[in-house]
Amino acid sequence: MNDAALLVVAAFLFGLPIYFLPTFVAVSRGHRNTVAIFLLNFFLGWLLVGWVGALVWAVIATEDKYGSNKRRRDRDSEPTPFDPLPEPAPVPVYAVPALVPYTCPHCGYMVRIPPAMVGAMVTCGTCRHPFHATPPAY
């Protein structure tokens, strides 16, 4: 084997992976147009514009954001239309002042009055007699 033939073989061996780089990129990315990229690469790759075109085609995303052409890591972080609704925010529970229980001195029924009425004259809802709601002694 002479030097020229050796050079051709070497160029072929080293050039072939570079020549089919667009196809390798498309295959490794799981591109949906892998076959078309291979055909463009195979038939027009010897033209620089065909090779570059195939490489660019292999690199760009051609699917929508839910398609299979994106990397799984990117796809998983995006919401899909089938994701469950987010958890509803908890409804804040505001403190409601508790009613203060009093025993009516006239009829003995339990009367509950708002805290703002403590210390004032209140009317029993049962016997209608007024009495002084003395503040509770703690």
Q: Give the binding site for Zn ion (CB under 5 A).
A: 104, 106-107, 124, 126-127
Q: Which residue, 106 or 112, is less far from Zn ion as judged by CB?
A: 106
User: Nearest 10 degrees: CA dihedral of 96, 100, 104, 105?
Assistant: -160
Quick one: which of 105, 133, 132 has its CA closest to 118? 133
Q: How far is the CB of 135 from Zn ion (least distance, A)?
A: 19
Q: Which residue, 26 or 104, is less far from Zn ion as judged by CB?
A: 104
- The number of helix segments (H) and strand segments (E) in the chain equals 5, 4
Q: How far is the CB of 101 from Zn ion (least distance, A)?
A: 13
Helix residue ranges, H only, 78-128 = none
In the chain, the amino acid numbered 4 is: A
Q: How far is the CB of 118 from Zn ion (least distance, A)?
A: 17
Q: Which residue, 58 or 122, is less far from Zn ion as judged by CB?
A: 122
CA 89 from centroid of its chain's CA atoms: 16
Q: Which residue, 25 or 124, is less far from Zn ion as judged by CB?
A: 124
Q: How far is the CB of 124 from Zn ion (least distance, A)?
A: 3
